[in-house]
Every structure is written in C-alpha cells, then in structure tokens.
Amino acid sequence: MTHTEFICSLLRSVRAVGAAATLRQVRASRPAFHRGEYHDTRAVFFVWAVDRLVAGGLSDIGALWHPLTDDRSVTAWWTTATLDSIEARAAFVPAELAREGEPQPVEATLLVAA
C-alpha cells in the first residue's frame, strides 16, 4: 500500500466511523504501509493527523495536500532513531520533539459517558 492509498483509506474511515474505530481497524489489519511493514506509531500519528484535518473541515484533497499528511511529517514529532526502533513499530510511542503547548499526537480512543 502506498502512503497516498493509506491516507485515502484513513480519510474514508475517519469520516465514516471516527478516529477510534479507524485506529482499531488499522491495528487489526496491520497494513504494510511503511517500508513494506506495519508501524504502529506512524499509524497512530496519521489517524490523529487525518482526524484533526477532517475535524477542521478540510476536503479529502485538502487533507491529502496538507503537510501534516506528508510521509515525512512524523519527523517533526519523533527522531529517526525512535521511529526506527522496534518499540515504535510494535506500539505507539509518545512524541518526543513537540514543544510544550503544541498539539501532541495521541491514540484515538472512544470517550464513554459515565
């Protein structure tokens, strides 16, 4: 799967079922979208990014052209060494480069009222 195909699939899914369900689907199917293998930290990041852009009202084309969905945008939040780690491939690793007050990529979860 190419990066563009991955982002397009996220856009369709986030619009249809929301970010939390989309992340669950991505984790269940574990698509090989980065260097021919699944990468959980990248998956979480791009679900988070697409969700932010959809919530901001961007069209699919606007989201595809947005710098946040560029394959290299993850390096604004993580070092290459961290992204290349076994831990980051297997499970989401919190961002290490974002400054205080900046948006932090997070795992999408469904909020349930008590």
- Residue-wise pLDDT tens digits, 44-75: 999 999 999 999 999 999 999 999 999 999 99
Write b or e for each residue in 71-83: b if 16 or more Cβ atoms lie within 10 A of its Cβ, otherwise e: eeebeebbeeebb
DSSP state of 77: T
Q: For residue 1, what pLDDT band results from cuts at 50, 70 and 90? A: confident
pLDDT of 110 reads 61
The whole-angstrom separation of Cα 41 and Cα 72 is 13
Whether the predicted pLDDT of 100 surpasses 90? no
Task: Say what the alpha-carbon torsion angle 15, 93, 87, 83 is, to the nearest 10 degrees.
Answer: 80
